Every structure is written in structure tokens, then in C-alpha cells.
Amino acid sequence: MVIIRKVAELLDFVGLRKEQGEKIGLVPTMGALHEGHLSLVERAVKENPCVIASVFVNPTQFNNANDLATYPRKEEEDFRLLAQAGVTAVFAPSVEEMYPGGPENQTRHEFDLGTAAEVMEGKFRPGHFQGVAQVVSLLFRLCRPDRAYFGEKDFQQIAVIRNMIRTEGIDVDIIACPIKRADDGLALSSRNALLTEAQRAIAPEIYKTLKYSVEYSKEHDVRATHHTVVEHLNSQPELEVEYFEIVDARTLLPVEEWDESPWIVGCITVYCGKVRLIDNITYRKPESC
Ligand code: AMP
């Protein structure tokens, strides 16, 4: 595996691979890798002769300075895991390399991300998706991937990136990969490392409650299902729901009835102490999706 730090070096690498007619798979990450990231990498390695994983904690998608400062970083371990997984190249640039002159001095390009970017994460993390679109579109332009792999843990992010490639005219297949969970059900996340022992013990309640709500939804309406999730989680020590939305998976707009859409998911963000955890659950989904 080659470790690439510089944009110029990446462009040369990609140019050579393209000349050889190789398909390129891209897995964008912010590092502190876990089995969730590695499941994306494994799929990319199976499907593409050349796989580039990026490790870059993108400052422009953080709307909270403390969140950025405390975001876990462990580059050497990440490189070891990526090499072991069969990645061809890791792109791990500095902030200066990605944003010469500083992120604040980039020409401001307002991405058209559609209404999917305005709800949930878009509402609670103003500017977050513009930052995601900025870094992902830059990675797409530099790596020119045929396929790019994203996790369904960030369900809304996938919808927003699909809108972004459409409006920006970028030709790439977006591959959505299922959520990887710990044995107790907690969705794997780099942020889990920031939980205290007591918080880590209570955090699995999030998925447990979501799973229970799928059973509950068979006998109850959307409103009652929403209510039971929020009430139950908020009654747990350390947990506080920031939002829980039961939405049409395609538009990400809230539904009021279960028969309103063939594909319905519940997206949740819960604070566990100061750590912000996200997860989601499917209530109904057509076989074809
Ligand atoms: P991040 O490093 O958190 O930006 O995540 C990089 C990619 O890994 C994103 O596409 C995430 O959705 C994906 N990812 C993170 N956690 C998981 C997980 N538990 N299961 C599957 N994919 C994940």
C-alpha cells in the first residue's frame, strides 16, 4: 500500500491507474478506523482492482470546535488496518494540502443539495453537509473513482451525496453499505472511543429501543412509535435524544402514516453524555431497494 500525502502525487497515481484501464474504488473516511469502515474497504477491494481510502478529518464539516478538537485520531493504526485489508493507496493529506491558504480562504461554492440536506443533521449541524459536499466532491475530482463506498449509518449523508453528484454532474456509482454493530447492537463509530465505561454500557439502549420500536410499529401508528422511542431513551441515564424522525427514505421528509411510503426509516441522534451518536432503523422497505 502506498501512502500519499500530496495532491500532486495522488493525481499522478490516479492518472497511471486510469491509463492502465483499472477501475478505482474510493472509501472516504475520517480515520480512527473500526470494523464499520473496514466493511466498506473489504467490499471495495472485492469490487475494484485499485482501492483508495482517504483518511482526513475534514474541518469544514464540523460546526463545533470542540467536536473537531476531540475527534479521535490514530493514523499509524489506520494505515496498518488498511494495508492488511488490501487497500492499494491511502490518501492522508494535511488540511493545508486540501485547502491551500486555510479552509476559510477557499472560494465559497454553495452546493445544491436539495431538501434532504435541510432536515435532521442539516438542521442541527448548520453547514455540515456543505462541508461534506466540499470534501467529497474534491476527493471525487482528485481520485476519479468508478465507485465510492459509504455506510448506511450516515443514512442522510448518502442521500445528500447522491443529490450532490447529480447537481455537480459527477459520474460515480455510490455504493451504500449496511451498518456494522458491536455484539451488543451499538453502531460502531469512531466517537464510541470517547464514551466512559458507564456511558458505553448504556449506549446499546439506542439500538435496542429502535429494534423494539419496529415490533411496536406493527400495532401502533407513527406518532405513538415516535413517542415511545423518545420517551424511553430520554428516561435512561446519560441519554438525551436530539432528534428522532420517521421519514420517507428517499425524500427524508417525515411521514405521518405507515402506508405513506414503501420505504420508511427512523433516523436518530442521541447525546450520550457529551458524545453525539447517530443510528437508524428500517420500518419498511421494498425488496427492490
Ligand atoms: P467517518 O470516518 O465517520 O466519516 O466514516 C467514514 C465512512 O464509514 C462513512 O461512509 C460512514 O458512513 C462509514 N461508517 C462509519 N461507521 C460505520 C458503521 N458502523 N457501519 C458501516 N459504515 C460505517
Ligand 1 atom nearest to 181, measured from its CA? 19
Ligand 1 atom nearest to 154, measured from its CA? 12
Question: How far from each other are the two terminal CA atoms of the chain, in whole angstroms?
Answer: 34
**Is the C-beta atom of 209 inside 6 A of ligand 1?**
no
Give 37 Cα–ligand 1 centroid separation in angstroms: 5
d(CA 129, CA 113): 8
pLDDT, tens digit only, all 289 positions of the chain: 999 999 999 999 999 999 999 999 999 999 999 999 999 999 999 999 999 999 999 999 998 999 999 999 999 999 999 999 999 999 999 999 999 999 887 777 899 999 999 999 999 999 999 999 999 999 999 999 999 999 999 999 999 999 999 999 999 999 999 999 999 999 999 999 999 999 999 999 999 999 999 999 999 999 999 999 999 999 999 999 999 999 999 999 999 999 999 999 999 999 999 999 999 999 999 988 7
d(CA 163, CA 132): 12
Check: CB of residue 229 under 8 Å from CB of residue 268. yes
CA angle (123 as vertex; 117, 127 as ends), nearest 5: 70
d(CA 77, CA 220): 46
pLDDT at 208: 98
Examine the residue annotation and report whether 227 is marked as an active-site residue of this protein: no
Give 14 Cα–ligand 1 centroid separation in angstroms: 24
Beta-strand ranges (E) seen in the chain are: 2-4, 24-29, 50-55, 89-91, 147-151, 173-177, 239-248, 264-272, 275-284
CA 261 to chain centre: 24
Q: Whose CA is nearest to atom 18 of ligand 1?
A: 36
The 3 state secondary structure assigned to 62-100 is: CCCHHHHHHCCCCHHHHHHHHHHHCCCEEECCCHHHHCC
> What is the pairing mode between strands 50-55 and 24-29?
parallel
Q: Whose CA is nearest to atom 13 of ligand 1?
A: 151
Give 55 Cα–ligand 1 centroid separation in angstroms: 12
d(CA 163, CA 52): 23
**Is the C-beta atom of 154 inside 6 A of ligand 1?**
yes
pLDDT at 238: 97
pLDDT at 150: 98
Q: Whose CA is nearest to atom 12 of ligand 1?
A: 151
pLDDT at 289: 78
Ligand 1 atom nearest to 157, measured from its CA? 12
pLDDT at 195: 98
User: Quick one: which of 2, 20, 157, 160 has its CA closest to 82?
Assistant: 2
d(CA 272, CA 206): 10
**Is the C-beta atom of 202 inside 6 A of ligand 1?**
no
Question: Residue 238's CB: how many other CB atoms inside 10 A?
Answer: 18
pTM of the model: 0.97
pLDDT at 107: 74
Alpha-carbon dihedral sign for residues 167, 39, 152, 231: negative
**Is the C-beta atom of 88 inside 6 A of ligand 1?**
no
**Is the C-beta atom of 61 inside 6 A of ligand 1?**
no
Per-residue cell: 60: 469544514
